[in-house]
Structure 1
Amino acid sequence: MEYYFRESRALHGVVFVAANGFDHVWPDKRNDVSRQLTRYQLDYLRKRNRRKELDRFKETCQVLAERLLATDANTPRWLLVVANKADLYWNEIAAAEKYYLPGSGSDFDDVAQELLSEVGRGNLQYDVLPLATAPVDYRFQSTRGLLESRTQLNTIQCSASIACLAEALEARCDA
């Protein structure tokens, strides 16, 4: 973080990638993570992963606020949260919206709103965009067994999602 957010770097915007609980867990950490779960179920793993994601978002927002308040010419103008792996939770997209979207009142949104209040709402454009890069099943394998979720979108739908992200980034870079 220090490398990317230091004052000497030109930083026009920040993309924070979320995964709605479908985070990749490195193979050497899987057994440790599985032992942390009170029940070995996908919902419990996702809740654990979302807590970790929220911690990373808080850290990102803290560093971003420091950078914005430093009144530097290279301050970021936008923050885009990309809720990736939407193909895995498409059937519950409304719940994801309630968690990530600005104004939803969720724990995630509370962190974002605190950032906007601290730096001034007019000083940072904040948006959320769902993303599905590829139709890939989610698999979490540990000594306790396999937890998985099937993709719900196809390649064409995922390609359209990537195109939306490209347009969103292009619009922010042209501004």
Structure 2
Amino acid sequence: RAAGRQAAPPADRRQRFAAYGLVTDPAGRILLTRIAPGYPGAGRWHLPGGGTDHGEQPATGLLRELVEESGQLGTVVDLLTVDNLHNPAALGPEGRPLDWHAVRVVYRVVVSAPTEPEVTELAGGSTAEAGWFTSAQVEKLSLTEVAALATGRRGR
């Protein structure tokens, strides 16, 4: 190493296992959550769900997140897909390099008795709002990659 030059700190390696839902109601509407300011993807519409707690079953974690992010009670119907996101050049807290790997399962979820979505305090601040949308409305929204994948939309 040349005098006076320091090597960049090695990237932290982080892996996150998350469970999300393509959540629908009897009318065929889709439930989406908007990512709060200050979080990756802020302002974009996302699938309800998130990281599972250590030792938590994915479907159980998803249903917990569904209540926290929207106040909805749902039933997991089946597994839609398993997705992988790897970004070896992500930036973590304080701008530190982060080798980020997310494994995401997406379930089909039905809410039989939908109510007006309400984000609870338990959501931890990453969810700004939640709402029910028709397929035509979803087509016009700015979606996260996983929400676009699950809904079959392009995302914007």
Global fold match (TM > 0.5): no
TM-score computed with the length of structure 1 as normaliser: 0.24
Specify which structure has the higher proportion of strand.
Answer: 2
Structure ranking higher on relative contact order (CA contacts 8 Å, 6+ apart): 2
